[in-house]
Amino acid sequence: MPFQLNLSHGHLFQWVILFCLFFVFLFLAKKLIILNLAHVFKKTRTIVDDLFIEGLKSVHLLYLIIISMYAASVLLNLQNNYFKLLKQIFILSTIIQAGISGGKIVNSWMDLLFKDQTKSIFVSSTSLGLFKTLVRVGFYTFILIIFLHSLGVNVTTLIAGLGVGGIAIALALQNILGDLFASLTIILDRPFSVGDFVSVSNYMGTIEYVGIKNTRIRSLSGEQIIVANGALLKEQIKNYKMMTERRVIFNLGVTYQTDEEKMKKVPSIIKNILENIPHARFERCHFLKFGPSSLEFEIVYWVENADYKIYADIAHEVNLQVLSKFKEAQIEFAYPSQTLFVRPVN
C-alpha cells in the first residue's frame, strides 16, 4: 500500500500521545487567550489587538487537528509516504486558514475603520461597499495565487495576464478610476464630512453627499454644485466646520480734527465694549497709521465660537455700540474727503 504508516505499536502510541498533547494545548491556548485578553483589548485604543482576537476566533478546529498531527509526526521524525501527504495537507490547510483568518481580519478592520463614517453618514454606503469589495477581491486573489503555487501550478503566466489586463482596464477607465481613488482618499484622509461648510475654489457651501465619482455641495445661493472627486482634491479646501474660534480684524477711522485726549480714549472704549459681549474676547486696539483722510485704528478680537451666525451677531452688536459710545465721547468718524486750498491770483 502506498500510504501505510510503517509504525510499530510503540511508535504509534507515542504519536497518538503527542497528537493529543498538541491538540489539547492548542485548543486550550486559543480559548484562554480569547477569554483572558478579549476584555483587556477592548479597553485599548489601538485596533491591532482587536483584529488579533478576531483572527484567532476564526481558527477552525480542523486546522488545530491538522497542526497537531503534523507536529507529532515532525517530533517523531517520520519520513514515510504518510508524512509527505500530511505535509502537503498541512501546507494547503495553512493557506486556506490564512485566507479565512485574513478575510475576517480585513472585514473587521474595515468595519472599525468606517464605523465613524457610517454613523455620521460620512460617505455613501455605495462608496464604502465598493471599497470593501475591492480590498476583499485583492486579498483573496493573493491567497488564490499562493494556493495554486503550492499545488505546483505555474502562476507566472497568470500573474502576467492579470498585470496586462489590469493595465488595459486602468487605461480605459483612467478618469473614472481617478475619481474612485480620490473618493477612497476622502474616506481615509477625512478632509471633510457630510454637513461641513467648506470653501473650494470660487464657491462656498455645505457638503451634502460624497459618492464614488462626485461630491455634491449645496451653495449659499441654493443651487447644488457637483464636483468630480479628483478635481475637488486638487483644489485648496477651507473647512470652516473645523474652526474652534474666529479671529476678527477690522479698521475704523476718525477725523484728523480729533484731539489727542479723545484719541487716547478709543482703545479703552473698544476694550470695554468687547469685554461686555458674551463669546467675544478682546485682543488689541492700536492707532496704526495716518490714512489719506482719517486717523486709522486696527481692532482685533476673537469670537469664541465657530458658528457664523454668532460671529455676525457679535459684529452687529460691536458696530452698534461703537456708534453709540463714539457719539457719547464726541468722536467723529472719518469719511473720504478732500481739502482744496485756493490761492488768490494777484
Q: Contact at 8 Å (CB) between 213 and 175?
A: no
- Dist CA 346 CA 20 (whole Å): 128
Statement to judge: residues 55 and 125 lie in one domain: no
Lowest model confidence (mean pLDDT) among 28-32, 115-119, 190-194, 297-301 = 115-119
In this prediction, residue 264 carries a pLDDT of 93
Statement to judge: residues 171 and 90 lie in one domain: no
Domain holding 277: CATH number? 3.30.70.100
Q: Contact at 8 Å (CB) between 206 and 217?
A: yes
Nearest to 57 by CA among 28, 34, 79, 76: 34
What is the 3-class SS of 56-115, one letter each residue? Answer: HHCCCHHHHHHHHHHHHHHHCCCCCHHHHHHHHHHHHHHHHHHHHHHHHHHHHHHHHHCH
Q: Say if 139 falls within a structural domain.
A: no
Q: Contact at 8 Å (CB) between 231 and 213?
A: no
Question: Which domain-ending residue is among 216, 242, 268?
Answer: 242
Q: Say if 341 falls within a structural domain.
A: no
Question: Which domain-ending residue is among 221, 242, 263?
Answer: 242
Bigger pLDDT: 62 vs 186: 62
Helix or strand (DSSP H, E) at 7 = none
Q: Say if 144 falls within a structural domain.
A: no
pTM to 2 decimals?
A: 0.48
Statement to judge: residues 17 and 107 lie in one domain: yes
Q: Say if 64 falls within a structural domain.
A: yes
Statement to judge: residues 232 and 254 lie in one domain: no
Statement to judge: residues 218 and 302 lie in one domain: no
Statement to judge: residues 16 and 101 lie in one domain: yes
In this prediction, residue 269 carries a pLDDT of 94
Q: Say if 317 falls within a structural domain.
A: yes
Q: How many domains does the chain have?
A: 3
Q: Say if 53 falls within a structural domain.
A: yes
**pLDDT tens sequence across 64-82:** 888 888 888 888 777 667 7
Q: Contact at 8 Å (CB) between 287 and 297?
A: yes
**pLDDT tens sequence across 111-165:** 766 665 544 444 555 555 666 666 667 777 777 777 776 666 676 766 666 665 5
Nearest to 267 by CA among 231, 244, 295: 295
**Mean pLDDT of the region 50-56:** 76
Statement to judge: residues 108 and 13 lie in one domain: yes
Dihedral (C-alpha) 199, 201, 207, 212: value to the nearest 10 degrees?
-150
Q: Say if 134 falls within a structural domain.
A: no
Statement to judge: residues 238 and 210 lie in one domain: yes
Q: What confidence category does residue 12 fall into, taking pLDDT thresholds of 50, 70 and 90? A: confident
Question: Which domain-ending residue is among 113, 143, 165?
Answer: 113
**Mean pLDDT of the region 50-55:** 75
Statement to judge: residues 17 and 102 lie in one domain: yes
Q: Contact at 8 Å (CB) between 23 and 65?
A: yes
**pLDDT tens sequence across 188-217:** 677 887 888 888 878 888 888 887 778 888
Dmax over CA atoms of the chain, in Å, equals: 142
- For 222, the domain range is 120-129+151-242
In this prediction, residue 3 carries a pLDDT of 41
Q: Say if 270 falls within a structural domain.
A: yes
Statement to judge: residues 56 and 94 lie in one domain: yes
In this prediction, residue 244 carries a pLDDT of 83
